[in-house]
Structure 1
């Protein structure tokens, strides 16, 4: 699916933008939030909006009657017989001549708002200036931002997404994102898909820059409007209304919004900006993990609720921690939105905090369908499992639960997918790990993976737990080894054998097993996690250590770790399967064999484990074939056929999970006993896209090819938000376009089969 939506092409980047990946477990549908694949070049906002549209698919809930939207999301209490008092604004304010441009539409909306109609808030034109404190790839500029009346607005830099309680997108023509009366609620036109992706992108960045439970947004598409309320489960959307006939709903929205508390507007009350002494201390103690100095980030003080028993009753006992910039922000409007921070406890005052040990704070929106990670960490601690995080404190935050599922039930309408209910949880662990790609030697990296392997083994033997998201983002370097982090997708093996408990299967795309990538419909197994440990070693060795395949890294990364095909769901694994069975990319039919420079242990490990995996795969296939033949030819027929030919060798049974684990453990231990280099710290290779490459990841058995570029469909709004507006050529516009905007073309329901690479930037985190 290709959704072009910008008038200037995205800026090219010729090096692999590799930072730490956000450790979000990715479902088999391959969400942006956790693909963790490597992006070879920036695709621009066109691709990002396409991805956001795809992620939000089925999670737009509505249409909700406007009156019900106010009743559910912005309720007020009125005395019996009294009426709501609204500012005296002409309800026909927008009647008359249609605005000639989006700029004129923005100006008209701000005139409607006025200076004194809505106490405490103001509207600011932010359509021309991206936020200077947003990172590259997220420099958004909503058409209009809601700001506190007391804020002093810099006309040269009016967009401050960390200070924006809400926003508006304004179009001077009809681009409806949904169909209130049609058979499909989510319109399939290019412009509708693009607009939905654009709105979702705003929600992603606003919620990443702030600490929120929900977000209000207004979508104006002349002469209509919709109200939207986002949370981590989906978005409630009002029915569309014609504000040129009666703009009372807009008046009511801003009137109620102006009277709402910060909590009602969606701000998290358990997070406060640190005061000056706290900020000074945090910046000194946490300077090793300081945010990029190009982007200003404040120090926050966070409450962590440790649910301890008091006289038999569970009472929240908040502890306070200072944090300075998340190691990564959420890249999806939905899901867990995991953020992690090195943290300093200040519960007992700043004097004691000066010498207090640093810890690691993690927060996320957990699904009620899954066991809370904090319960898993408690069990691991109680059973004395090694090489896993040590829980210090934590619990659910009071009253912070997503509401979209409840709204869907109340209005009797919902998206096409199940809507989860999610609870905001925050907890602290003792260990502050380093990203695995910061290893000081190849042996340190390998030992960290082995320690994580041991943590996985002990968790299974002592607690019957499967991790289900072994990945580079979830293995951290600590003193003298490593730990296996992020147990939020872990399940008891007895439970997983009864089928998945959440709506989607999980894993991080680049490190998922071949079977899971290929979409095999079965519960997660130990073998899937074991295979992931190998992909972690290979992936980081290829990218950060010297070897004889450096000039082939583009093909290897895109063809093995990012490869996928897409029909109704994403599937992959073809590149990995070819590597395991044929040595594709690193030997076999791609000579010479992979060799790490002056690193015999690592070279031997990759060669040997691929032989093991090939043997396991062959035994599985042979056993399946034997079972099929026995099923088709039973009884005397089988005996007769066997008597006619030479004696067949006995088919080895498929390997047991214990056998695979024991084989891997023995191999890890043998490789660790070898002599390793000592001065080969991680150095990221520059990965260049070959001249003439389409940008699609090659893989055997699939049809490659680049996506066709379509012309822009908008004059200004649909360009990349990542740059200042650029002068554009004057185009002739038909009378039809003047009344309804650009023609809407139907998008393809099913994309052509094409092997595609990840569209996710590799971001830094240790959560």
Structure 2
């Protein structure tokens, strides 16, 4: 959240921007409405009298003391002090923290010491610039960081459990209060005010908030509870493999198909832990078209061939023809916040437009039927405040637009490979798509990861998630943050946050996909235990933080590649497979990339006829020649594709060395700060496993969370040589 707290916004400006005035006037305030709220002592004694005082200003809402009863979100137990819910006639409000239903939450702190925010004096421009330089608005204290983290955790939990574009919250510290507004770009924080001496500001906020529509409160109204006929409800559940009847179904609007039907399915998975991000979530759904939208009876059969699946058939103006979207079908929907640029010379294409370019150039091994568009009301607003005269922080903000992409294929995740040959084949297929995009469509993917390669029912690999793709000739930076998934980013990108992303970086990411998948899911010999696996996988999560500077990592990756020890030599697969040999072959060019390059003086020494070189100079000549060949291999996917294809043509691949999703990992003991850093990235690794994509008509089990060091481990004996284990 560093650089994402925008303050201190005047309360009046906050009301003007985000909480429109109501036609019904605020009731007259009593004298000193908060007189019964203790000003000293335990904060828990403040909750009930505060609720009583503010309830008159919330005729449609109910405030509840939830400080002792929490909610578990992403396996973390959280309790807000006061939760505010909609009043529903005849239905009692939850008596606990329920992030899936709350409209607003409040957090109390009894002491002013260790405040999350401190309003600096900014009467002059010089004072404002000094506040920005010193970071005084977000004090760098343990208590301040902890409280800001707590607030961000609550907001993230609320957004992960609801369909939201933004949300509001209130923070009370002693006699002072602040209002906050959260969206995926940043968090706006008001200047503090004394709610006892100025109770009208608190009353005005609650009164206005109470009278807002769901959309004005930040709800994404394009998703609603499903109202299906019983037979349609049953069919959707059967197609998606939903056996639990208690799982609620929702109705999703599909951009550019609004009015033509809806997609139906469960709630999006909730593995997102960071609110300020692209907040990408995805899941399979069932598309059910309206019968009258396509001029005929709805078809429930199998979709037609790709030659019939022209996207424009179903979204053109005028009469809508029958086509792929006139048929009921399982689809895969990705819900995300795509990055926007306000720079005049930078074009950021929506992902569906990138797919259109890829399809125009007949790029293989990508989803064929794709449609996407922006979600109404889903554009962030906080980026508009970067030049505000009251702003006393140095913002690091990326503007976003809520966006959905849908494609007509539902694969399974790469970590569910049936054998290591299938794993390598899928990576090869994705590399083919990447190569074609680079050479013909002139696009660079820039987010090669294990989660962005999926397996079809026939075991073919598809390269998906092209939203970060960039034209090859586009220079310059679009945003203040790096592009990619941390575990699979090249060491150079991790070590140099401002580095320009190249083909070489994507090729290294393909290597890390194979390396990560091998260490995480390929069963090893018994002597390679959970501690060994944890230590070896640590290089993918390595991470360091310096306040005010971008995160860095990749030192272990570059070191192991430079010395030719990637992946770990202690890993030996339980089944004999060419996979490990292939990894050793693919790592070779990166040894030259991360080792010291030959100097101009060295090149000058060997710039003579070869027969005049002595043994020492001949070795230098061969080393320079190897370096040049390696660097040439890293400029295009050709060498990588040839190397993988050669390995796949070998006959000794096992046929049943499938992935084991339950292999235990034990990370070494670390300091609390190291553990906090690693946990952040370990959770991202686990999120790759948790968002299991299901195959058409079947249900696939998501990978289990990483077990602890005491987890029981299935053991076996190393296999004899041959093609089976």
TM-score category, normalised to shorter length: 0.7 to 0.9
1:60-113 Cα deviation digits (max 9, x unpaired): 1121111111111101266xxxx9433544344247742532221111211112
Q: Which residue of 2 aligns with 1:142?
A: 80
What is the SS of the residue equivalent to 1:167? strand
Describe how 1:173-252 pairs up with structure 2 within 5 A: 173-174=111-112, 175-181=114-120, 183=131, 184-252=136-204
- State whether residues 513 and 528 of structure 1, in contact with CA within 8 Å, keep that contact through their aligned partners in structure 2: yes
Q: Which residue of 2 aligns with 1:310?
A: none
Q: 5+ unaligned residues in a row in structure 2: which ranges?
A: 122-130, 302-327, 342-347, 608-612, 694-725
Match of 2:540 among 556, 561, 570: 561
Q: Which residue of 1 aligns with 2:52?
A: 111
What is the SS of the residue equivalent to 1:264? coil
Does 2:634 correspond to 1:684?
A: no
- State whether residues 214 and 265 of structure 1, in contact with CA within 8 Å, keep that contact through their aligned partners in structure 2: yes
Describe how 1:245-644 pairs up with structure 2 within 5 A: 245-277=197-229, 279-287=233-241, 297-306=247-256, 319-348=261-290, 352=298, 354-355=300-301, 356-369=328-341, 370-409=348-387, 412-413=390-391, 415-480=393-458, 481-495=460-474, 498-519=475-496, 521-548=498-525, 550-551=528-529, 552-567=531-546, 568-584=549-565, 594-615=571-592, 617-618=594-595, 621-623=596-598, 625-626=599-600
CA shift, 1:438, in A, is 1.2
- State whether residues 563 and 757 of structure 1, in contact with CA within 8 Å, keep that contact through their aligned partners in structure 2: no
1:522-571 Cα deviation digits (max 9, x unpaired): 31111111111111112112221222463253443443211233334332
- CA distance in 2 between counterparts of 1:153 and 1:100 reads 35
What is the SS of the residue equivalent to 1:379? helix
CA shift, 1:424, in A, is 1.1
1:330-382 Cα deviation digits (max 9, x unpaired): 22111211111101112325994754221111111111123322211121122
What is the SS of the residue equivalent to 2:538? helix
CA RMSD of aligned residues (A): 3.2
Q: Which residue of 1 aligns with 2:723?
A: none
- CA distance in 1 between counterparts of 2:495 and 2:284 reads 37
1:189-217 Cα deviation digits (max 9, x unpaired): 22221111111111111111111111010
Q: Which residue of 2 aligns with 1:42?
A: none
- CA distance in 2 between counterparts of 1:680 and 1:465 reads 35
CA 1:327/1:433 → structure 2, altered by over 3 Å: closer, same or farther? farther
Does 2:712 correspond to 1:758?
A: no
Describe how 1:721-760 pairs up with structure 2 within 5 A: 758-760=681-683
CA shift, 1:628, in A, is 9.4
- CA distance in 1 between counterparts of 2:401 and 2:22 reads 27
Q: Which residue of 2 aligns with 1:669?
A: 645
- CA distance in 2 between counterparts of 1:673 and 1:576 reads 29
- CA distance in 2 between counterparts of 1:585 and 1:556 reads 13
Q: Which residue of 2 aligns with 1:48?
A: none
CA 1:77/1:159 → structure 2, altered by over 3 Å: closer, same or farther? closer
CA shift, 1:123, in A, is 0.3
- State whether residues 448 and 484 of structure 2, in contact with CA within 8 Å, keep that contact through their aligned partners in structure 1: yes
Q: Which residue of 2 aligns with 1:13?
A: none
- CA distance in 1 between counterparts of 2:621 and 2:106 reads 71
CA 1:216/1:306 → structure 2, altered by over 3 Å: closer, same or farther? same
CA 1:443/1:154 → structure 2, altered by over 3 Å: closer, same or farther? farther
Q: TM-score, normalised by structure 1?
A: 0.74
Match of 1:69 among 2, 10, 14: 14
- CA distance in 2 between counterparts of 1:646 and 1:460 reads 38
What is the SS of the residue equivalent to 1:541? helix
CA shift, 1:509, in A, is 1.4
CA shift, 1:390, in A, is 2.6
- CA distance in 2 between counterparts of 1:628 and 1:646 reads 9
CA 1:443/1:104 → structure 2, altered by over 3 Å: closer, same or farther? same
CA shift, 1:629, in A, is 8.6
CA 1:612/1:68 → structure 2, altered by over 3 Å: closer, same or farther? closer
CA 1:205/1:672 → structure 2, altered by over 3 Å: closer, same or farther? same
**Which protein, 1 or 2, shows the higher relative CO under an 8 Å CA cutoff with sep ≥ 6?**
1
CA 1:694/1:668 → structure 2, altered by over 3 Å: closer, same or farther? same
- CA distance in 1 between counterparts of 2:103 and 2:331 reads 31
**How many pairs were matched up?**
620
CA shift, 1:614, in A, is 2.5
CA 1:339/1:96 → structure 2, altered by over 3 Å: closer, same or farther? closer
* Runs of 4+ that moved beyond 6 A: 151-156, 627-630, 754-757
What is the SS of the residue equivalent to 1:201? helix
- CA distance in 2 between counterparts of 1:173 and 1:479 reads 58
- CA distance in 1 between counterparts of 2:505 and 2:358 reads 21
1:453-477 Cα deviation digits (max 9, x unpaired): 1111111112111111111111111
- State whether residues 339 and 363 of structure 1, in contact with CA within 8 Å, keep that contact through their aligned partners in structure 2: yes
- State whether residues 446 and 484 of structure 2, in contact with CA within 8 Å, keep that contact through their aligned partners in structure 1: yes
Q: TM-score, normalised by structure 2?
A: 0.79
1:194-247 Cα deviation digits (max 9, x unpaired): 111111111111111111111010111111100011111111111101112232
- CA distance in 2 between counterparts of 1:413 and 1:285 reads 51
- State whether residues 218 and 227 of structure 1, in contact with CA within 8 Å, keep that contact through their aligned partners in structure 2: yes
- CA distance in 2 between counterparts of 1:520 and 1:234 reads 21
- State whether residues 64 and 411 of structure 1, in contact with CA within 8 Å, keep that contact through their aligned partners in structure 2: no
- State whether residues 177 and 193 of structure 1, in contact with CA within 8 Å, keep that contact through their aligned partners in structure 2: yes
Q: 5+ unaligned residues in a row in structure 1: which ranges?
A: 1-55, 308-315, 636-641, 696-704, 710-750
CA shift, 1:520, in A, is 6.5
CA shift, 1:646, in A, is 6.1
- CA distance in 2 between counterparts of 1:492 and 1:628 reads 37
Q: Which residue of 2 aligns with 1:168?
A: 106
Q: Which moved more, 1:437-446 or 1:514-523?
A: 514-523
What is the SS of the residue equivalent to 2:427? helix
Q: Which residue of 1 aligns with 2:41?
A: 100
- CA distance in 2 between counterparts of 1:151 and 1:135 reads 31
CA shift, 1:153, in A, is 6.6
- CA distance in 2 between counterparts of 1:520 and 1:270 reads 37
- CA distance in 1 between counterparts of 2:249 and 2:194 reads 43
- State whether residues 130 and 159 of structure 1, in contact with CA within 8 Å, keep that contact through their aligned partners in structure 2: yes
CA 1:220/1:597 → structure 2, altered by over 3 Å: closer, same or farther? same
